[in-house]
Amino acid sequence: VEAKSIVNAVKKREVYRPFAGTVMAEHADE
């Protein structure tokens, strides 16, 4: 949950947008 909040803040994503697939793929190596 913490990571989601951080990523949403960094990416400035709208809260209704799905996050798991794209973000995990982009940041899989971090």
The one-letter amino acid at 20: A
Give me the mean pLDDT over the 7-17 stretch: 66
Give me the mean pLDDT over the 9-28 stretch: 61
Spatial separation of the C-alpha atoms in residues 24 and 14, rounded to whole Å: 17
**What is the percent of the chain with per-residue pLDDT over 70, rounded to a whole number?**
27
**pLDDT-based confidence at 4, cuts 50/70/90?**
confident
CB 19 within 8 A of CB 13: yes
Does the pTM surpass 0.85? The reply is: no
- Can you give the pLDDT at residue 14? 60
Reading the block at residue 13, the tokens are 């994503």
- Can you give the pLDDT at residue 10? 72
CB atoms within 10 A of CB 11: 14
